[in-house]
Amino acid sequence: MDDAIKGGAAMKRKEKKKMGAGSIIFMALVYLFLYMPVFVIILFSFNKNNSNIAFDGFTLKWYLEVFKGDSLMKNFWLSIELALVSMVISVVLGTLATIGLYRYEFKLKKFINGLLYVPIVIPELVIGLASLASFSKMGMTMGFATMVFAHVTFCLPFVIITLRSRIADFDSSIEEAAMDLGANQWHTLKRVTIPMLTPGIISGALLSITLSIDDVIISYFVSGAGDITFPIKVYGMVRGKITTNVYVISTLMIIGIVVVYLGAGALGRFLEKRKEIRDIKKIEAQ
Amino acid sequence: MKEKKKKERKNTLPILCMVGPTSLWLLFFLLIPLIYVVVISFMTKGAYGGVVFKFSIDSYKRIFDPLYLTVMWKSIVMAFETSVICLIISYPFAYMLCKVPAKVRGILTLLIMLPFWVNGLIRLNGWSNILRDSGFINTLLMKIGIIDQPIQMMYSEGAVLFGMVYTFFPFMVLPLQSSISKLDQSLIEASYDLGARKVKTFVRVILPMTLPGIFAGTIQVFIPSLGAFFISDVMGGGSAAYLGNLIQNQFLVARNWPLGAAFSVLLIIFTLVVLKAYSKVGDLDDLA
């Protein structure tokens, strides 16, 4: 874009610079729109008043209570547990399916591919009620297991599509080389294909966890009385008053995830640097 | 996809081992449940809720009750308005995002996703703290003395629309960004070289080339907003009735499953039609 306009008249360039300031303001406003409620949540997590009608003053009381072990933390850990279990199942099934769908041609392939898009596009409400209706028909009691079934169903397609975008631009000649060198299919899968897919597997896993932790609608239908996740608990409060510990846990979560992202970035850079140094040493040794 | 590189191999066992588990999972937990919803929609409501397995098309007749037609129409209008507003905000935003240097773009894209780690319900509740009668905006305006009475912003159709736009607009940004970043710069350059002005270049070159992204984004906003009952719950108050609330209510409160299922069948058919139509113009993988 820039190069295209650089060739233009000086006036045009000026126009573009002015648009630049406008763009920055516009983008800032969009981010403000996105983050306003987040700021409010962080602010209210320090609120003295537990009913959260108004901000009454600063306190750390609710944080201490959450750290001491709040009943809401039970719901929170259940959400984490559910997200992790669903993620592991989605990633294992999804990785195998992605490789299978990429490598082989078979009759039902088109149908399975088409089916994958349904949970992505259909309103979550429909998946929720369909799961509730059919699970209870099959004689299941709603609880942790039914939530895992439903969560994997909507996470799995996202994992597969994330992985597929990686596998599409990967060099299948490496796999072929491994096979030519005498590795069997299982070995090729274990030693070549899966390691090459690892970055995709990690982003798929993160996506799966994100979707699962955030889900209200589907869980709402398939959760049992004893297994209430954090979002469903909040849904129960949201029409009345939200207690401050909800804000505290949300604030901690967002801090936690920023730390994870920063940490992952730093780790990546560190590993890259170490690899570079190692490579240089190798060359020097030669 | 590189079709050339794919070799047709007849390997039934590996296919079964790799694709089998996912296929079975989708069969049991997606396909059968959805078909079961279609079946229920043709059954009779039990006296105390539940389903009596006796064929009837009563539920489909009841859909045409003027009361329900109004709700459906309201929901479609709401979904349409949400999509249009999201598009108006997201298109320039995604365009600008594509222009910033790659390093900053990564951070900015991450910043769009970050709020998702606070549950959507809680973020909407955050807005309610800002917008309600005793909220930040009204308190501030009354303190300054611009108004004496709080302006009512929450619990209205406008508030629901606001909540919908807030919740869904990131889903519009991401496909648009992917579509815009794939733009062939030389075509835009050619358009300028041939003397087309900015507006003309945009309408005749950029817009048509980014249509798949626009479609993908619109699908990502329009369809979920038809079913998102919790947004109207929080922003619209208890009285708000949209299709999502209606279906949820039929399943969990009124316990008229056949009727709720019939409405769901409409959504299922609509989704399948949209998917089929979109697969003709864009890459389905962009929907994820």
Residue B205 falls within a domain, yes or no?
yes
* Backbone φ and ψ of B161, nearest 5°: -60, -45
A41 to chain B nearest CA, in Å?
6
Nearest to A214 among B5, B116, B139 (CB): B116
Chain B neighbours among A 128-157 (CB < 8 Å)? 129-135, 137, 149-150, 152-153, 156-157
Residues of chain A with C-beta less than 8 angstroms from the C-beta of B273 = none
Q: Which residue has the higher pLDDT, A281 or A127?
A: A127
The mean-pLDDT minimum among A207-221, A233-247, B8-22 falls in B8-22
Residues of chain B with C-beta less than 8 angstroms from the C-beta of A171 = none
pLDDT on residue A18: 42
Where residue B263 sits, what CATH number does that domain have?
Answer: 1.10.3720.10
A113/A218 same-domain check: yes
Instruction: Kindly tell me if the per-residue pLDDT of A16 is higher than 60.
Output: no
CB B265 within 8 A of CB B36: no
Nearest to B234 among A2, A130, A238 (CB): A238
pLDDT on residue B84: 95
- Closest B-chain CA to A135: B33
* Alpha carbon distance B62, B259 (integer Å): 8
Where residue A187 sits, what CATH number does that domain have?
Answer: 1.10.3720.10
Domain enclosing residue A94, as ranges? 71-249
A286 to chain B nearest CA, in Å?
35
A37/A117 same-domain check: no
A166/A85 same-domain check: yes
Residues of chain B with C-beta less than 8 angstroms from the C-beta of A172 = 5
Residue A113 falls within a domain, yes or no?
yes
* Alpha carbon distance B6, A105 (integer Å): 8
Residue B207 falls within a domain, yes or no?
yes
Residue A160 falls within a domain, yes or no?
yes
| Positive or negative: CA dihedral B60, B63, B66, B69 | negative
Structural domain count of chain B: 1
Residue A245 falls within a domain, yes or no?
yes
* DSSP, res B135: S
Mean pLDDT on A7-16: 42
- Closest B-chain CA to A132: B33
From first to last of the 288 residues of chain B, give the pLDDT tens digit: 444 444 445 578 878 888 899 999 999 999 999 999 999 999 998 877 778 888 988 899 999 999 999 999 999 999 999 999 999 999 999 989 888 888 888 888 888 888 888 888 999 989 988 888 888 888 888 888 888 888 888 888 899 999 999 999 898 998 898 888 888 888 888 888 888 888 888 888 888 888 888 998 998 899 999 988 889 888 887 666 899 999 988 888 888 999 999 999 999 998 888 888 888 877 777 777
**B32: helix, strand or coil:** helix
pLDDT on residue A154: 93
Nearest to B224 among A124, A129, A214 (CB): A124
Element containing residue B56 per DSSP (H, E): none
- State the pTM of this model: 0.86
Q: Which of B3, B10, B22, B91 to mutate to test the interface with A (most CBs of A within 10 A)?
A: B22
Interacting residues of B167 by C-beta distance below 8 A, sequence separation 6+? B120, B123, B124, B228, B231
Residue A110 touches chain B, beta carbons under 8 Å: no
Interacting residues of A157 by C-beta distance below 8 A, sequence separation 6+? A116, A117, A118, A119, A120, B288
Residue A272 falls within a domain, yes or no?
no
Residue B52 falls within a domain, yes or no?
no
* Alpha carbon distance A129, B216 (integer Å): 25
**B195: helix, strand or coil:** coil
Residue B241 falls within a domain, yes or no?
yes
A29/A110 same-domain check: no
Number of H helices, E strands in chain B: 15, 2
Residue A114 falls within a domain, yes or no?
yes
pLDDT on residue B192: 83
Nearest to A235 among B113, B121, B219 (CB): B121
A147/A25 same-domain check: no
Which amino acid, one-letter code, is at A62?
Answer: W
A165/A225 same-domain check: yes
Nearest by Cα to A119 from A94, A144, A145: A94
CB A134 within 8 A of CB A150: no
Residue A268 burial by Cβ neighbours in a 10 Å radius (0-12, 13-18, 19+):
exposed
Residue B132 falls within a domain, yes or no?
no
Nearest to B111 among A31, A108, A242 (CB): A31
Residue B40 falls within a domain, yes or no?
no
pLDDT on residue B240: 66
A31/A93 same-domain check: no
pLDDT on residue B10: 59
Cβ neighbours, 10 Å, residue B253: 10
Residue owning tokens 């072990």: A69
Residues of chain B with C-beta less than 8 angstroms from the C-beta of A238 = 121, 124-125, 230, 233-234
A166/A28 same-domain check: no
Token reading at B57:
């098309």
Residue A271 touches chain B, beta carbons under 8 Å: no
pLDDT on residue A49: 78
Residue B36 falls within a domain, yes or no?
no
Q: Give me the percent of chain A exceeding a pLDDT of 70.
A: 92
Chain B neighbours among A 215-244 (CB < 8 Å)? 216-217, 221, 230-231, 234-235, 238-239, 242
Instruction: Kindly tell me if the per-residue pLDDT of A1 is higher than 60.
Output: no
Instruction: Kindly tell me if the per-residue pLDDT of A262 is higher than 60.
Output: yes
CB A246 within 8 A of CB A72: yes
* Alpha carbon distance A147, A155 (integer Å): 12
* Alpha carbon distance A234, B29 (integer Å): 26
Strands B51-52 and B44-45: antiparallel
pLDDT on residue B3: 45
Chain B neighbours among A 33-72 (CB < 8 Å)? 33-41, 44, 52-54
pLDDT per position as a tens digit, A125-173: 999 999 999 999 999 999 999 999 999 999 999 999 888 888 776 767 7
Beta bridge partners of B47: B49
Contact call for A152 and B134, based on CB within 8 A: no
* Alpha carbon distance A37, A34 (integer Å): 7
pLDDT on residue B238: 67
Interacting residues of B84 by C-beta distance below 8 A, sequence separation 6+? none
Structural domain count of chain A: 2
Residue A204 falls within a domain, yes or no?
yes
Token reading at B259:
């009727």
Residue A91 falls within a domain, yes or no?
yes
Token reading at B143:
């303190």
Angle, alpha carbons B10-B14-B16 (nearest 5°): 100
A79/A16 same-domain check: no
Contact call for B22 and A96, based on CB within 8 A: yes
Residue B197 falls within a domain, yes or no?
yes
Interacting residues of B43 by C-beta distance below 8 A, sequence separation 6+? B51, B52, B53, B54, B55, B56, B257, B258
Domain enclosing residue B87, as ranges? 60-116+156-287
Contact call for A117 and B284, based on CB within 8 A: yes
Complex ipTM > 0.85: yes
Q: Which residue has the higher pLDDT, B147 or A182?
A: B147
A29/A123 same-domain check: no
Residue A156 falls within a domain, yes or no?
yes
Label residue A34 by pLDDT band (50, 70, 90): very high
